[in-house]
Structures are given as C-alpha cells and as structure tokens.
Homo-oligomer: A and B are copies of this chain.
C-alpha cells in the first residue's frame, strides 16, 4: 500500500521502512506536502493522532504517524511526551542529543531506581473515521554512561538486562524486532495485511 509517514526524521524513516517492508513509504517533503501540528498534547496518543490527522487532510493516501518517548517512573514519568525537547525550557534552546542525554543523567543523580520504559504510540489513519492505534513499550534501565553507536536519542543510555546491551548496541534489525517502535509497527503491519 502507498503510505505517507508523518516525519522528516531520517532515522525514523529508515526504521519504519525496514518495518513496513512490502509497502511503499513516502514523506511529506518528498511529496511536496506542507502540514502543521504542534505536539503539545499531554499523551503520546494525543500527539500521534493530532499529527496523523493534520497530515491526512493534505494527503491522498493513508498516513502513519507516531509519538515516542522515554518514561522514567522515578522522575514521575519524565521526560515523557517532552522526550525530544527535554531540558530545552531550562536551557532556553533545543538540546542536541548528547547534551540532552547528559541532562537526563544529571536529573537522575542519586536516584537508585533506574527503571525506565520507552513508549511508542503509532497511528494509521485511513480516513477521518477509519483509524488504528498501536501503543507498545520496551522496558529497561538507565545506565550512567552512554554505550553503543546504533539507534538515536536515548538509546545509548537505555540498558536491556535480558540482552546485556544498550539499545544503541543492537544492530538495526535486532532493535526493530524488540523495540517499542518496531513492535508497534508489527501490529500496524498486521492490520494492513488484514485489509488485503
């Protein structure tokens, strides 16, 4: 199926393209589509849905949008829906990834409960009234020093006890099989396949 992904983040495009094998994925910029949605909702679902429907209005094909983030219970759920802009209010500008990761570690200084989970809420919008949501998680722990070169965002700090590795130490294919975004995508794929 021809699908439009509501992102210009090349890391996400790569991840999603390998998840949605057999479907033809494009991005708004490749299709010359401009749309606007400010991700100011209080839930991953609110942001993912808002983004999907803002783009769907301009699109001639079904849209996939996601909102993802890191949830640290010991930080009362932070950074949560603010994951991508964590620390920017305090610093007065959007932080680059390594700086944002250091900001998180600073916040977690002295905290012994290191449990955390990634959340991905993915929305497939076919029309205003026909839509599908898949929200999945990945559980792990925040370690003190970044490790690994794969992935992006908080991946180098996110340790998976079952693997003895951070998410950034997992090759893309392995990450997609178990990650919050990968598994959320597998469910959306199941839905797409049920439409054939």
Contacts and interface: CB of A to CB of B under 8 A. Distances in A.
Interface of A: 71, 117, 119, 127, 129-137, 186-187, 189-191, 193-194
B130 A132 contact: no
Nearest to A134: B132
20 contacts: A71-B129, A117-B129, A127-B137, A129-B135, A129-B137, A130-B135, A130-B136, A131-B133, A132-B133, A132-B134, A132-B135, A132-B187, A133-B133, A134-B191, A186-B194, A187-B191, A187-B194, A189-B194, A190-B190, A190-B193
Contacts of A189: 194
A119 B117 CA distance: 34
A129 B119 contact: yes
